[in-house]
Amino acid sequence: MSRKIVIGSRESKLAVIQTEMVKKYIETNCPQMQVEVLTMKTTGDVILDRTLDQVGGKGLFVKELDKALMDRRSDLSVHSLKDMPMKVPEELPLVAFSRREDPRDVLVLPQGMSELNFDKPIGCSSKRRILQLQELYPQATFATVRGNVLTRLRKLDEGNFSALILAAAGLKRLGLEERISRFLEPEEMIPAAGQGILGIQGRAGEDYRFLDTYNDADARDCALCERAFVRILDGGCSSPVAAHARIKEDQILLLGLYYDEMDGGYLKGSLSGHRDQAEALGEQLALQLKAEYGRRNSK
């Protein structure tokens, strides 16, 4: 018996490509299912004249999609996991995690350029990126850039910025890997929690077993670890908390960045443990870095 599945997606080109990847998987592995995509503009896509922390954070990218799920206009939502709030409603759980694409941030120069021109700002809207870039490029200045990836690239090529910092995963999925001028390794720039992973959200109590073989165990454990770190530190969109986990055999290594809202200082650290303890490891490193920062600054 055929079953119809409607997948909710933001309407940007990258969001649709990511949703089509999930659609194709379901169609290939569950030929009895009829799959449709429902696209919509989210509040985060509409308000582009202010930074996300000024208008409500990451929830702006999921509100409309959550409502479509609750209203049963859709059965699944596909999100870039890094854009999802750290706390998801119990009635709308994450039901699957994609295999992780390249999690690194990258430097993108204007077309035809091979060197950074420090006379112009680097286009970057994320405090997390700016904090870490100031270590790499102390002479750089920064300016806010919003909009989807293609809009940002157009602004870069029009001469507004010396460079952009973007996620490698988005550029690769858009087929724009050739625009990458330099990969920033996680040791140089800790990525956003969940970067490179697609989070599939569904409704509590529904049967999503058809996604069992889509669900990637390594990505899931890394995501749980990273998101636990950020959640403990209450790192929303406005806080530059960062976390990146890697799995080798049964061990998970977590890099984390703690940021102090009071004085603007930060501290990086790492911790490893068994992957079965992914969430506990994230929580432990968050508390360790917070305590260590407090000790250093109380002397």
Task: Note the maximum CA span of the chain.
Answer: 69
Taking the C-alpha atoms of residue 208 and residue 112, their distance in angstroms, rounded to an integer, is: 47
Cβ atoms 236, 261 nearer than 8 A:
no
Q: What are phi and psi of 85, to 5 degrees?
A: -55, 155
Instruction: Name residue 188's amino acid.
Output: E
Q: Which residue in 45, 66, 75, 83 is the catalytic one?
A: 83
Taken in order 232, 236, 240, 242, the sign of the CA dihedral is positive
Note whether 7 and 78 are within 8 A (CB).
yes
Strand partners, 78: 200
List the end-to-end C-alpha distance of the chain, in Å, as a whole number: 69
Asked if 83 is an active-site residue, the reply is: yes
Which residues are catalytic, by number?
83
